[in-house]
Structure 1
Amino acid sequence: MGVFDVVAVRKQFPALDEGAAHFDGPGGSQTPRVVADAVARTLTSAMANRGALTAAERRADETVVGARQAIADLLGTDPRGVVFGRSMTQLTYDFSRTLAKTWQPGDEVVVTRLDHDANVRPWVQAAEAVGATVRWLGFDTETSELDDITPLLNERTRLVAVTGASNLLGTRPDTERIAHLVHQAGALLYVDGVHLTPHAPVDAASADFYVCSPYKFFGPHLGALTASPELLESLRPDKLAPATDAVPERFELGTLPYELLAGTTAAVDFIAGLGGTGSTRGERLRSSLQLVEEYEDGLRVQLETRLAAVPGITRYARAARRTPTLLFTLDGWAPAAVAERLAAADVNAPAGSFYAYEPARHLGLGAAGAVRVGLAPYTDQSDVDRLVEAVESLDAVSRD
């Protein structure tokens, strides 16, 4: 096992030179210099549509193939099943419409109260369009743990959509167990891994579909989905007549953004270099992310302990397994006002429901939501100190 060096990591992020303490990673991480360089280098190199005739064509093809392999190494899947899109939301809408072509009235789809709306609304709308039934899986508001899915599964279940980690609460459901139960019922499992992927080693092979967003793990803004090539071969998406029917390209609309794919590969390589060891990139990725998980979890425990000592704090994230994500409110303060005061102290910790419409409503937080604090590999002790001190100062004001 290698060593995680937060000082060395922080030096790779130019944005940190501006001086803010960033706890806004769940909405999008900061970007290391090597990723920006890869994007710029690709934009200023000769590029063309993919092919093998010219250097520009070959460079484009190598960029796409390289990015598919990078995502496959990160997630432990087959590069031939990696699909790129504008965002996780766009990919999920596309696949919900494609899969709904195989549904009929009486079929059932399961979504959860824990998920970001991007892994809820596309499935609800697709089911409604074909007359399928939507079943809802709740979670315990005290523990933040997802309820048992078993009672909702039957021979009519066609798909279950569940988060790998809640972007609001950090809760990490046991997706391997869920996958086993879903497959026993003869259904497919679609996992939203957007919030999980930056924080822990991922083995996406148990899910039929696993989707993530590189901009949450130091890369550019786009989405990536992985599935088995055999499963993708069985699906018929809407596409242009002259567009290729090959997998995975049949699911990608138009020309791919080569510069963003190059940045994605650079981001994956960056993660592999965060202290991990191994003879392959996949091994280094798993090792590095284990180091990241341990580092972030240590900071999370410390931060939770210190915030719990602040009078008037109500904490909502309590699951046994969770990402380094905290959600809280402070008596006497609207969440947006807390975020505003923290921002004035150069502590970036936003407030809201963050498109996690169902969990915010289930918790009784409504549209105002709460203050969300997310740790990242570039978070250090001084950041934690600044956040705690800023919250303590707000509590002092409210008691005066």
Structure 2
Amino acid sequence: MNVNNVIRPPKRFSTSYLSQLNIQAYGSDNLYPQRMSDLIQNSPTGGTCLERYQTFIEGNGLSDTEFSEYVCNRKDETIDDIFSLIAQDIATYNGFALHVNYNLACEICELQHIPFENCRLEEEDDAGSVTYINVHPDWEGNKTRKGRRINVDRSNVKKYHTFNPIPSVVIDQIESCGGIEHYSGQVLWVSMNGKFKYPKPVYDKVVTNLSTDEGLDNVKYRNVRNGFMLSGLFVHKKSVQYEFDENGNAIEKDTQYDLSDSLDAFQGDNNACSIMEIVVNSSDDKPEFINVEGTNYDDKFKVTESSTTERIYSAFGQEPWYCIRIGKLGFSGDVLSEAYEYYNSYVSKQRRTISRALKRIFDHWFEVANPSDNYEIEPLVYISNKSAESSPINNTKA
């Protein structure tokens, strides 16, 4: 069987044109990054892998600590603050966006981070280039300011020129805007999937497993919180109660009990090991206690949970941690050290992309902010108790 005969797989996401905003839609509803963020955050396994992925991308921060402490905008944010936000975006969305402002000398004088999920690409021009990056604070249209909803329309979408630090280009943009006071700067928009292509995060390939992982967690929750966990049933003869009518005649009182009215009193962990009382009418039945064992649904999904977890770890390239988790590799310092070394090489491409982006900006900065010209990111290193004891700091004599 060749590729023409197999069932055609659906596209991961589609890119269409939204004429009312003159932008390329990011997914069928223009909310692909928001959907993916919600999906990964609701998956316990996926969220854990994402946090580790982001931690290793960020590493120990920029190697040049003086440069990392440099204040780069009017909000008093440092390069290290911006760098941390970049690492979060590239881990979650596989891309990031940085806004820069220029002075009258056409030099970059300010750097700010823009949440990647807030950015949308303008439609390509005749030359196949994207001229503007469109930014809205909430493409879902739920955010409010001063009690009023920020609608997704042209009046609330801000356009920024794409990054191009050539002085002649910057001057033309400033003049077309009516002066430097009206100029909104440029945006360096970076995608790991290619120039001006909407990126897919690394976990896009396991969206069904992430959703399954969330469902398995819900099953566990409901199994404990809503499960029918009786200790047993106590069955005995119904007691007869009498009441009197208006003539003074004794009549049997109706004490019919509806079991369905109290079933919730025997559900969940707070009511576990309760005893349900069952009353019977037959005088021949003697009191007895019946053991009851509820159904444990956790056991029914063990294989599903194992395969789902493995695939999520694999999507993030975290097989060593999965093997440690299931006890396949043990938990020694050497194993963890090798896992750190492996994953540092796994995220090297993301780190290199961040370093290059920072260099592109600070090569056109209005002053020498980074004399060393070092934009490398220091990788994480596993520190065991043994290595900590042998470090120069711990061996220093008082």
TM-score band (shorter)?
under 0.3
More RCO (CA 8 Å, sep 6+): 1
Structure label with greater radius of gyration: 2
